[in-house]
Amino acid sequence: MFASPLRWWEINAALVTGGMVRGIIVGAGFMAIAAPLAHIGGVVRPFVFGFGTLGVLVVAAQIGVIAGSLAKSLDQVYSMESIIVLPLGVLGGVFYSIQQLPPPWGVATALNPVFWLVQVERIGLLGHGDVSAASALIAVWVLALALSVWSAVIFGSGRLKA
């Protein structure tokens, strides 16, 4: 990968952009099938949905790039998914409202980054969520920025083994 004439940030940007395009295609396909089945009439808050979805796409793409950068084999990528990403997704408020949880578990859920990704999409599509739209957007974009910096440090250090 580093034998190409591209600079490290161009490779990073290309990988993230590819991940985002993949996310758009998968998300659009999912929405095309799920919207009629779930009777979703449309996007209630378009700005929150659009800006939030862009942040979610950056987060997901950066997680993929970072996982691929740190893993030495495909098995390690799948292990990261099974051990880290899957539990965060299940415990991220996808299947329940944070208001239904006792206080200590509500706080634990609020510390889960996936909770904020779910909330920004829920607010954009349904118009309401467990937190305000502003706090959800800020949390998603802070996470996106933090992961982007982490990815830039990994790529900029030249420690990747291609």
Share of the chain above pLDDT 70, in %: 96
Give the mean model confidence (pLDDT) for residues 27-47. Answer: 89
Percent of the chain whose pLDDT exceeds 90: 52
The answer on pLDDT for 161 being more than 70 is: no
Q: What is the pLDDT of residue 1?
A: 58
Q: Which residues contact 112 (CB under 8 A, 6 or more apart)?
A: 88, 91, 92, 93
Average pLDDT, the chain: 89
Q: What is the pLDDT of residues 61-112, one digit of tens each?
A: 999 999 988 888 889 988 888 898 888 888 888 888 888 888 888 888 889 9
Answer yes or no: is pLDDT of 57 > 90: yes
Over residues 47-73, the mean pLDDT reads 93
- Residue 28: partners with Cβ closer than 8 Å, 6 or more residues away: none
